[in-house]
């Protein structure tokens, strides 16, 4: 079975949302959000779409079968692209 990676923790930290707040918004137990973030639980399509809708992004931005680039790498790449321009 393939791994399903997600960036819920990153989005949550960026928006300053607690696990409890996110859990209440999408209708799950706050432990479930913790298990999702740790990669210990794969959400249903319904839950994945609810979380994506909560953050206002597409599901692909939040969940992926490939490991996400780290925030540091993304920033470094963005800075390098800015320098080139």
Partner 1 sequence: MSLLKKLDDLVYAIGIDKILFRKVRPRSLRWIPLFVLAALIVGYVLMASIASRPTAKFFVGWLLFYGAYMTAMLLRTFGPRFVATARDPLDERELTVKARAYATSGIGITVLAMLGCCYMAGAEPLGIWRPHMPNDWISLALGLQAIAMLLPTWIASWLQPPPLADQED
The full DSSP string for 16-34 is: T--HHHHHHHHTS-HHHHH
Residue 3 touching partner 1 (CB under 8 A) = no
Separation of alpha carbons 18 and 41, rounded Å? 19
Beta-bridged to residue 6, according to DSSP, are 63
> Which token pair is 17?
């949302």
Which member of 13, 14, 15, 31 binds partner 1 (CB under 8 A)?
31
Q: Between 2 and 44, name the residue whose CB sits nearer to partner 1.
A: 44
Q: Between 46 and 69, name the residue whose CB sits nearer to partner 1.
A: 46
Number of residues that bind partner 1 (CB under 8 A): 18
Residue 62 touching partner 1 (CB under 8 A) = no
Residue 38 touching partner 1 (CB under 8 A) = yes
**Residue 85: DSSP 8-state:** -
């Amino acid at each position: 079975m393939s791994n399903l990676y997600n960036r819920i923790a990153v989005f949550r930290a960026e928006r300053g949302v607690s696990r409890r707040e996110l859990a209440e918004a999408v209708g799950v137990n706050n432990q479930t959000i913790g298990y999702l973030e740790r990669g210990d639980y794969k959400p249903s399509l319904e839950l994945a779409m609810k979380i994506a809708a909560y953050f206002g992004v597409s599901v692909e931005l939040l969940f992926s079968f490939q490991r996400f680039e780290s925030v540091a790498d993304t920033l470094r790449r963005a800075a390098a692209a800015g320098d080139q321009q």
